[in-house]
Chain A
Amino acid sequence: MKKHQWGMIALGLVIFIIVVTFPFWYGKGKTSPPPQLSLDTPAIAQLKEKRCVEDTSFMRESHMKFLGTWRDGAIREGKRLHTARDGRVFEVSLSGTCLKCHSNKEQFCDRCHNYLGAKPSCFSCHNIPGEAKK
């Protein structure tokens, strides 16, 4: 095997290793703490039982699908009331129910969404007063 061929192979392998280790060198080894969600809003502070529509793990995992069913139910079938699993009844409304408690979108919704690169289309219609549109 000629020498320049080994040079090409070495170059290829170096490129391969640099590309597949991208996540390791991109962050320069900095640790980034996972986002801390703030529940510190006036509405939540007044709640006796700090409980969302469903329990926390369900909301964390499935809130997007859940809100999707809310949206479809409210808009297509006019279902404006939602009965949770424990019998409480909520008004089906992103701005009136969700954002009433979680009025701190930037410290709550956005932190996880930005961390994960999720770009929900909710807020292209549901305006947050006082928030500058990017």
Chain B
Amino acid sequence: MKNLLISILAFFILALLALGIGLNHSLAYVLIVIVPYAAFAILLTGFVYRIIKWGSAPVPFRIPSTCGQGKSLPWIKTNPVENPSGAWGVIGRMAQEIFLFRSLFRNTDVAIVDERPVYGSAKWLWFCGLLFHWSFAIIVLRHLRFFVEPIAPWIGALSALDGFFEIGIPTLYLSDAAILVGLTFLFLRRVVVPQVRYISLFTDYFSLLLIAGVVTTGLLTRHFFPADLNAAKTLAMGWVTFSPVVPQGISLVFYMHLCFVFVLLVWFPASKLMHAGGIFLSPTRNLASNNRGKRHVNPWNAPVKVHTYEEYEDEFRDKMKASGLPVEKE
């Protein structure tokens, strides 16, 4: 509970700071010209740093999780993706994990029925997690329309598909609605379920609140307090071409959106959000399950000093002969 309160407090302090920066135009230069580059640089270097740090961690043994029948005798049916024995199987398994969250799909729930534990499938976490991540990806890709000129055709096509139902003016994007559903579920799950609340840390709540802040201010900007999009794109193109200009008359909500996004960029490599890169380095997923099929030698095994029987005999042959012991070599 303490973690939840601290993260809500931290989020509100952040929101107030963003509000203050939005109202105080003397800080606009810092926010528009300096912070974006600093935040982006921190994202890139932090991301690379943490991946290299994880890459340097020793993995002396293969520890793939085996979720299906491994490669065995030819007449035993194998499951090459759930228990891969080669590179292609590993690629298939990683693709399932990254694009479809295969291991979350296995999530189960337990309930006590008539004093006996009963296990059942629990797909809500998987579904809302998938909803959230895919929506977030689509939203980020859609934002590229502000960052490239001319707009690549696939960005326009994605936006058109996302706004297929043309609900309202401006069109409601389905990913915007979906991400709200996903975020709400993921947050409430941590607050409502006692076991999950018990293991939730500051980073869990704060990451969700921060992304919710980005999404909310973004939706407010789009649907309730429209920003001058021409100025918004000019601003974004200024960053991309390294000639940022502080725009005039940008709305407060839009300033808050920017503040939250920059905090997210900095927070990303410093927090659990690094699972975006870390999932590629999961040893239980990215190693082929050929523990016995191939010989794996720990690459940093220390050279063990051995003294073989032949060497022993060479050393003591005279003494052995003298005392009448049998020797193998005369």
Listed in ascending order, the chain A residues whose CB lies under 8 Å from chain B are: 1-2, 5-6, 9, 12-13, 16-17, 20, 22-24, 26-27, 29-32, 34-35, 57, 60-62, 64-65, 67-68, 112, 115-119, 121
Q: Nearest chain-B residue to A58 (Cβ)?
A: B226
B149 within 8 A of A: yes
B166 within 8 A of A: yes
Q: B151 — which chain A residues lie within 8 A by C-beta?
A: 117
Q: State how many angstroms separate the Cβ of B247 from the closest Cβ of chain A.
A: 10
A-B pairs with beta carbons under 8 Å apart, 21 shown: A1-B56, A1-B59, A9-B52, A12-B280, A13-B51, A16-B47, A16-B277, A17-B44, A22-B144, A22-B147, A23-B148, A24-B240, A27-B240, A61-B228, A61-B251, A67-B169, A115-B149, A116-B230, A117-B155, A117-B156, A121-B166
Q: State how many angstroms separate the Cβ of B223 from the closest Cβ of chain A.
A: 9
Contact residue among A30, A31, A60, A118 (Cβ-Cβ distance under 8 Å from B228): A60
Q: State how many angstroms separate the Cβ of A111 from the closest Cβ of chain B.
A: 9
Q: State how many angstroms separate the Cβ of B145 from the closest Cβ of chain A.
A: 4
Given A5-B55, A23-B144, A27-B148, residue A119 in contact with residue B156 (CB < 8 A): yes
Q: A22 — which chain B residues lie within 8 A by C-beta?
A: 144, 147-148
| CB–CB A1/B51 < 8 A | no
B138 within 8 A of A: no
Q: State how many angstroms separate the Cβ of A66 from the closest Cβ of chain B.
A: 9
Q: State how many angstroms separate the Cβ of B221 from the closest Cβ of chain A.
A: 10
Query: How far, in angstroms, from A32 to B238 measured CA to CA in the complex?
Result: 9
| CB–CB A27/B241 < 8 A | yes
Listed in ascending order, the chain B residues whose CB lies under 8 Å from chain A are: 43-44, 47-48, 51-52, 55-56, 58-59, 144-149, 151-152, 155-156, 159-160, 166, 168-170, 226-230, 233-234, 236-237, 240-241, 243, 249, 251, 277, 280-281, 299
Q: State how many angstroms separate the Cβ of B162 from the closest Cβ of chain A.
A: 12
Main secondary structure of the interface of A (DSSP, over half): helix
| CB–CB A9/B55 < 8 A | yes
Query: How far, in angstroms, from A68 to B283 measured CA to CA in the complex?
Result: 54
| CB–CB B169/A116 < 8 A | no
Q: State how many angstroms separate the Cβ of B235 from the closest Cβ of chain A.
A: 10
Contact residue among A31, A115, A119 (Cβ-Cβ distance under 8 Å from B241): A31
Q: B169 — which chain A residues lie within 8 A by C-beta?
A: 64-65, 67-68
| CB–CB A61/B227 < 8 A | yes
| CB–CB B230/A35 < 8 A | yes
Contacts A116-B230, A117-B155 known; list 19 others, CB within 8 Å. A1-B299, A9-B55, A12-B277, A12-B280, A16-B277, A17-B48, A23-B236, A24-B240, A26-B152, A27-B149, A34-B234, A35-B230, A57-B228, A64-B169, A64-B170, A65-B226, A68-B168, A115-B149, A119-B156
Contact residue among B59, B144, B243 (Cβ-Cβ distance under 8 Å from A31): B243
Q: B155 — which chain A residues lie within 8 A by C-beta?
A: 117
Q: A112 — which chain B residues lie within 8 A by C-beta?
A: 229-230
Q: A6 — which chain B residues lie within 8 A by C-beta?
A: 55
Q: A118 — which chain B residues lie within 8 A by C-beta?
A: 170, 229
Q: B149 — which chain A residues lie within 8 A by C-beta?
A: 27, 32, 115
Q: B52 — which chain A residues lie within 8 A by C-beta?
A: 9, 13
Query: How far, in angstroms, from A63 to B193 measured CA to CA in the complex?
Result: 45
| CB–CB B44/A20 < 8 A | yes
Q: A67 — which chain B residues lie within 8 A by C-beta?
A: 169
Q: A13 — which chain B residues lie within 8 A by C-beta?
A: 48, 51-52
Query: How far, in angstroms, from A61 to B169 measured CA to CA in the complex?
Result: 13
Query: How far, in angstroms, from A24 to B55 measured CA to CA in the complex?
Result: 28
Q: State how many angstroms separate the Cβ of A121 from the closest Cβ of chain B.
A: 6
Q: A29 — which chain B residues lie within 8 A by C-beta?
A: 241
Q: State how many angstroms separate the Cβ of B138 from the closest Cβ of chain A.
A: 15
| CB–CB A34/B226 < 8 A | no
Candidate in B58, B166, B226 with the most chain A CB atoms within 10 angstroms: B226
Query: How far, in angstroms, from A10 to B169 measured CA to CA in the complex?
Result: 45
Q: B146 — which chain A residues lie within 8 A by C-beta?
A: 116
Closest 4 CB pairs of A and B: A23-B147, A68-B169, A117-B145, A32-B149
